[in-house]
């Protein structure tokens, strides 16, 4: 029985050491396209009220409700949009909206925005 306990212990120890060694490997040489990176980003959905739209700098200020999925309280913040389409052009200050975004570092990049009925 003592031998089998030793074998189990050393087997588990080997697995832990192998994982630790692998975790220390550098992944900087891995090739990854931007499309693959985008697929890994968490799309976050929220509801809020449009406060301001800066078409020149492609920013929209939204007072959003709390976002429990990422632990954010309700706050007012700026989101960046990349496409100035009819949906963005139709927005007005005071519109209640449902929107989705992804975080890219310090930038909150708007993915979709829709005016809701109040």
pLDDT score recorded for residue 9: 59
Half-sphere exposure of 16 (CA within 13 A, CB side): 6
Residues in the chain: 118
Q: What is the CATH number of the domain that holds 81?
A: 2.40.50.320
Against a cut of 0.85, is the pTM above it? Answer: no
Whether 57 and 104 map to the same domain: the answer is yes
The residue among 113 and 11 whose pLDDT is bigger is: 113
Residues 16 and 50 in one domain: no
Is residue 21 within 8 A of residue 15, CB to CB? The reply is no
Q: What are the pLDDT digits (tens) for 5-52?
A: 666 656 665 665 656 555 555 544 545 444 444 456 899 999 999 999
Question: What are the tens digits of pLDDT across the range 55-72?
Answer: 999 999 999 999 999 999
The answer to whether residues 43 and 17 belong to one domain is no
Per-residue pLDDT at 73 exceeds 60: yes
How many domains does the chain fold into?
2
66/91 same-domain check? yes
Distance CA 116, CA 49 (A): 10
Q: Which structural domain range is residue 12 located in?
A: 2-27
């Amino acid at each position: 029985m003592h031998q089998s306990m030793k074998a189990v212990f050393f087997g588990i120890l080997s697995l832990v050491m192998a994982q630790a060694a692998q975790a220390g490997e550098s992944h900087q040489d891995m090739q990854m396209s931007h499309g693959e990176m985008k697929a890994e980003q968490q799309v976050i959905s929220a509801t809020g009220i449009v406060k301001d739209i800066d078409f020149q700098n492609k920013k929209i200020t939204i007072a959003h409700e709390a976002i429990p999925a990422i632990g954010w309280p309700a706050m007012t913040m700026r989101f960046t949009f990349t496409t100035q389409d009819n949906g963005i052009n139709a927005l007005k200050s005071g519109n209640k909206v449902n929107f989705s975004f992804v975080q890219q570092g310090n930038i909150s990049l708007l993915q979709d925005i829709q005016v809701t009925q109040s």
